[in-house]
Amino acid sequence: MPPFLQFVIRRFMALPVSLLIITMILYGGVMLTPPEARASLYMPETKRNLTPEQIERLQENIIERYHLRDPYLVQYTLWAKTLFEGTWGYSPTLNEYVLPALLRRTPATLELALYSLLLLIPLGLVSGVKAGWRRRGLFDKGFRLLAFLSTSTPPFILAIVLLSIFYINLNWFAPGRVSLAYRLETLEESFIHYTGMLTIDGFLNGRIDIMGDVFRHLAMPVFTLSIYHWATLGRVARVSIIGEEKKEYVIAAKARGIRERRIVWRHIFRNALTPSLTSMTLSAASILTGVFVAEIIYDINGISTIIVNAMSGVPDAPAALGFAIYSVIMILLLMFMLDVLQAILDPRVREGVLKT
């Protein structure tokens, strides 16, 4: 088997282990509550039509059936089984089962995260490398100033400033996911949802106008998200470039008469990738948190609406738990993708020479 495939499989096998550890800890949190509260994780849809006595009986039934007074491991195993069976509990604030609600909202979140990553990874790497190669040069100074400014502006403050300038005042961009008129058109039968991501679907349906409108709504959140993480990534790339020019392989390349541009982008660039992408992997959780915050501020109906609902209505443990597990899965997948990207770009990683 080629080493790359081995790496991917080995890395993929690590995902369930992490998920197991996290769900065990999460259920440990659930164990802090009394059995009556735990029963709400299994409450069926019909709860609202019942009298208080009936609800009490139902609660007692659930406690019996799912052994909610038994030791932790018994409960955990039963609960973990229900995770695979599919609905993740009924959420009273959403009035539907948690898993379908999450899945339905995924494309919007994914779209936002995808465009942000597509923008920030190349930009961060290229500008960091450029700044690091000509250290103390004009580009480096500009880069450092900009990086300083963008890391010290909290994204939510940037977001409200952008909203008041570009939406309220100039009306160039808009919050939300898509304008109402286009939203109604996407609900029509003739509009086929291939991926759920409206930019791609709009393109595939031949509706460039819808695609453009969605991009108009995406511009501000994508910018808010990428500018912050761009600076962090660029800084790591910059630091990992500094010091490379004295390494032997660079001297050798120079001695062979290779042009500088080629040395930087063909030889040094690849060596700067590993620490940069590792830092991205480590901050994957904060990237996704940023996506959620951007969604809430820019009023995008992604998966974070679930927690907004849960916070404002009746207590909703199934939704909160489902949201936690779902975001963990998303982060694990993001980390996995970044690791694979790293392995594609850096042969040392996939051959296990570097331990990451």
Q: Which of 125, 198 has the CB closer to other proteins? A: 125
Residues between 263 and 322 with contacts to other proteins, criterion CB under 8 A: 274-275, 278-279, 282, 284-286, 288-289, 292-293, 296-297, 307-308, 310-312, 314-317, 319-321
Q: At closest approach, how far in Å is the CB of 143 from other proteins?
A: 13
Residues between 68 and 97 with contacts to other proteins, criterion CB under 8 A: none
Asked if 28 interacts with other proteins (CB under 8 A), we say no
Q: At closest approach, how far in Å is the CB of 101 from other proteins?
A: 15
Q: Which of 162, 178 has the CB closer to other proteins? A: 162
Q: Which of 204, 329 has the CB closer to other proteins? A: 329
DSSP structure class, residue 258: -
Q: Residue written as tokens 């009936």?
A: 54
The continuous run of DSSP H or E covering 90 comes out as strand 90-91
The DSSP secondary structure of 43-70, one letter per residue, reads --GGGGGS-HHHHHHHHHHHHHHTTTTS
Q: Which of 187, 256 has the CB closer to other proteins? A: 256
* Contacting residue, 3, 9, 10, 34, with other proteins by CB under 8 A: 34
Asked if 39 interacts with other proteins (CB under 8 A), we say yes
Residues between 172 and 201 with contacts to other proteins, criterion CB under 8 A: none
- Relative to beta strand 96-97, strand 90-91 is antiparallel
- Binding part of the chain for other proteins, among 4-12, 17-25, 105-113, 216-224 by CB under 8 A, reads 17-25
Residues 6+ apart with CB under 8 A from 157: none
Joined together, the tokens standing for residue 89 give 């509990």
Q: Which of 3, 212 has the CB closer to other proteins? A: 3
* Contacting residue, 75, 150, 224, 327, with other proteins by CB under 8 A: 327
Query: What values do phi and psi take at 96, rounded to 5?
Result: -160, 175
The DSSP secondary structure of 109-132, one letter per residue, reads HHHHHHHHHHHHHHHHHHHHHHHH
Q: Which of 159, 210 has the CB closer to other proteins? A: 159
Contacts 24+ apart (CB under 8 A), 3-8: 3/350, 3/351, 3/352, 4/343, 4/344, 4/350, 6/350, 7/340, 7/343, 7/349, 7/350, 7/351, 7/352, 8/340, 8/343
Q: At closest approach, how far in Å is the CB of 203 from other proteins?
A: 31
- Binding part of the chain for other proteins, among 172-180, 248-256, 261-269, 338-346 by CB under 8 A, reads 248-256
Asked if 37 interacts with other proteins (CB under 8 A), we say yes
Joined together, the tokens standing for residue 130 give 């450029």
Q: Which of 27, 115 has the CB closer to other proteins? A: 27
Residues between 115 and 174 with contacts to other proteins, criterion CB under 8 A: 135, 151-157, 160-161, 164-165, 168-170
Q: Which of 125, 211 has the CB closer to other proteins? A: 125
The DSSP secondary structure of 280-325, one letter per residue, reads HHHTHHHHHHHHHHHHHHTT--STTHHHHHHHHSS--HHHHHHHHH
Q: Which of 78, 328 has the CB closer to other proteins? A: 328
Cα 200 from Cα 195, distance rounded (Å): 7
Cα 159 from Cα 163, distance rounded (Å): 6
Q: At closest approach, how far in Å is the CB of 118 from other proteins?
A: 21
Using an 8 Å Cβ cutoff, are 191 and 205 in contact?
A: yes
* Contacting residue, 3, 6, 12, 21, with other proteins by CB under 8 A: 21
